[in-house]
Chains A and B, each alone.
Chain A
């Protein structure tokens, strides 16, 4: 995520929320050229199919160009120490944009957790239906009744799978978020 603003912009500036809805806010790792054409598209009052090219001749271009590539492997050295600004600064300063990002992650995590919760509750709610399995009272292959086998060993693999899946999904969401805000 890059944002072509000068690094000196204060947190209060960004808190207005106007920046959060701009096109540059939705184009991860946009190259300077992309930014220019995106702005041009937005500025075109007629909304024509052929965007008009404009030259952006301001310090913004220079800043955007100097943002290091996202996969560069260097330790984080503070929000303003490098050449660019990133969303982590917003998170630090509790701006509206930062809050929007945090809320997005929380919603996504909550949806994942709800899926797991629904699975668990659904299985638990269905358990009493085992009483209606035909022939359930007869001994199974090792001399134990079928419902016994289901309850003692049949449901548990499902729980193990659900727990592992939940942990994996939540972790990958967190990893994506960390990469998105530039603090992997």
Chain B
């Protein structure tokens, strides 16, 4: 265990040092706020595409997807498919015209296109909410990673990420961050791919079963329960218990768990024999194998609605992510931006194979995570389980470095996006206000991070994507392609869609679980809210068509004509 911790610490430190090295390398020119953000626009398509992919591959992709696959089954692979599809839509509808508009942030775009400072403020508020929802899972993932690896309290991971990100954003600005992001994409890819290849080989050599059977313990396993929790047992199982079980104290006695829900006290130790079926945490579905392998969310209320709604949220939400859109400003022209975006699906597809593989192998080798509920830790636990000793420790160290690269790069990107928006909109620009904005951007999610305790990282990211899909995505699409969008229509639509999505997200975070249609609508409102936001924008714009900005035609021509024929 200490060996692992050392390996982890070393690899993370190396990574951080490399990042900071890159940061200071690019710092030479970062003198003014414009320099900080513009990144001098000299980045190639592949390099920028790596940076964009890196920013998109967050804690959710890295840890959450594997955890979802372990717990919920093959159907959760829909989310990476939809995320990659979202980038195809981005190529088709957004990148080139947005780049040609010359707007740096999406708030700049709204103000330039619609000529209204009010719309700008509305959009800026929306950007902040999306960023904060996006930062929550990063903090949570960092906390879980550090806790699983070293036993440190959860907040230690948050503090580590905040410290590194602050030092990076405050010193280097965006030029260095583009380099850091691009390097970190390849770090992350190696960090998941090498252990995955090793695990695949070990799995085939091992001759263990296939993942679609019901999860069982491969050997006698001792589980130490950290916090009091409810677990569901599907078949009578004889276990040795030390600690509190169902309110009674046991001291190393043999107890037969009947097939129902049991409460396990904090600090209890349960020893399961080889071949026993794995109990599930009560909040996770206990799929038998066949259902796990089939992609359908059976056993949940209104599962088809929830599935389609989540898919739509990821698909459309990807188009409106402020920190991703800002990256295209680094390209020199609309055509380069489009080429960059067209490379991203390839890079993402390459990456997403591996979390899926981890989640699947996790059913065979780390099934106890289903009982403790720490499914986000699958990628971190798996190498040590499959290859005990030094090789496992080294692989874990590699994975941990990749995970921290994910937290740091995504957090950096989001913080730069929020800080840029705040400093230009509220504080009126300047290097000092950019830095103040960065501090503010990190402080808010840090204050609410404790409420997100039991949520899965991927679920939290879907929240951010839902807000984006219901507010910025409609504004962006209509602004880029529809001449008759009015400031009033855009503002009302963003407030309506974004506001309701934020309310649903906050309700999901702070209220307990619910049932029926209320639960389904609160959990995944995108299928209702996104079309409604489009309808509101179009409807209000048509109702007040006199206020179509006079520059609309000129703006549309500027966005869609290639640079060489651009208006002079």
Contact = CB atoms under 8 A, between A and B. Distances in A.
B81 A151 contact: yes
Interface in B8-27: none
B81 A137 contact: no
A156 interface: yes
A163 B91 contact: yes
B295 A110 contact: no
A92 B557 CA distance: 10
A47 interface: no
Interface in A135-156: 136-139, 143-145, 147-148, 151-153, 155-156
Contacts of A178: 562, 564-565
Contact of B210 (A125, A144, A174): A144
B85 A124 contact: yes
Contacts of B74: 145, 147-148, 151
A145 B554 contact: no
Given A145-B293, A162-B88, A166-B92, A106 B353 contact: no
Contact of B84 (A143, A156, A167, A170): A156
A125 B308 CA distance: 8
Contacts of B562: 174-175, 177-178
Nearest to B311: A124
B78 interface: yes
B255 to A, nearest CB: 34
B89 interface: yes
A1 interface: no
Nearest to A157: B349
22 contacts: A91-B561, A120-B88, A120-B315, A124-B311, A128-B295, A128-B296, A130-B294, A137-B212, A151-B77, A152-B77, A152-B356, A153-B353, A155-B84, A155-B85, A159-B88, A160-B349, A163-B87, A163-B91, A163-B342, A166-B342, A174-B335, A183-B565
Interface stretch (A24-32, A36-44, A59-67, A111-119): A111-119
A175 B96 CA distance: 14
Given A128-B295, A178-B565, A139 B353 contact: no
B553 A99 contact: yes
Contacts of A50: none
A98 to B, nearest CB: 8
Given A102-B561, A106-B481, A117-B89, A152 B289 contact: no
Nearest to A133: B294
Q: What is the interface of chain B mostly: helix, strand, loop, or mixed?
A: helix
Contacts of A117: 89, 92-93
A91 B84 contact: no
B84 A147 contact: no
A159 B343 CA distance: 10
Contacts of A130: 294-295
B311 A127 contact: yes
B568 A171 contact: no
Given A112-B92, A184-B564, 9 more contacts: A102-B561, A116-B88, A117-B93, A143-B211, A144-B360, A152-B352, A159-B81, A167-B341, A178-B565
A131 interface: yes
Contacts, number: 165
A159 B557 CA distance: 29
Contacts of A128: 295-296, 304, 307-308
B338 interface: yes
A181 B567 CA distance: 12
Contact of A124 (B82, B349, B481): B82
A114 to B, nearest CB: 8
Interface residues of A, number: 55
Interface string B68-88: 000000100110011011011
A91 B293 contact: no
A15 interface: no
A137 B214 CA distance: 12
A121 B531 CA distance: 14
B81 A167 contact: no
A83 interface: no
A172 to B, nearest CB: 11
B71 to A, nearest CB: 15
B93 A102 contact: no
A137 B565 CA distance: 56
Among A125, A157, A159, A177, the one with the most B-chain Cβ atoms within 10 Å of its Cβ is A159
Contacts of A175: 562
B481 A116 contact: no
A137 B293 contact: yes
B362 interface: no
Contacts of B192: none
A160 B343 CA distance: 8
Nearest to B334: A174
B3 interface: no
A147 B295 contact: yes
Given A102-B557, A130-B295, A137-B290, A177 B565 contact: yes
Contact of B93 (A91, A98, A113, A156): A113
A74 B339 CA distance: 27
Interface string B178-204: 000000000000000000000000011
A164 B342 contact: yes
B294 A131 contact: yes
Interface string B337-363: 011011011100100110011001000
B293 A167 contact: no
B296 A166 contact: no
Contact of A120 (B89, B295, B296): B89
Contact of A155 (B81, B311, B557): B81
B556 interface: yes
Among A98, A117, A127, A177, the one with the most B-chain Cβ atoms within 10 Å of its Cβ is A127
4 closest Cβ pairs, A-B complex: A156-B349, A151-B77, A145-B293, A131-B296
Contacts of B242: none
B453 to A, nearest CB: 29
Contact of B565 (A91, A124, A145, A167): A91
Contacts of B87: 159, 163
A131 B75 CA distance: 9
Contacts of B147: none
Contacts of B335: 171, 174
B302 interface: no
B262 interface: no
Nearest to B84: A159
Nearest to B291: A137
Contacts of A147: 74, 293-295
B556 to A, nearest CB: 6
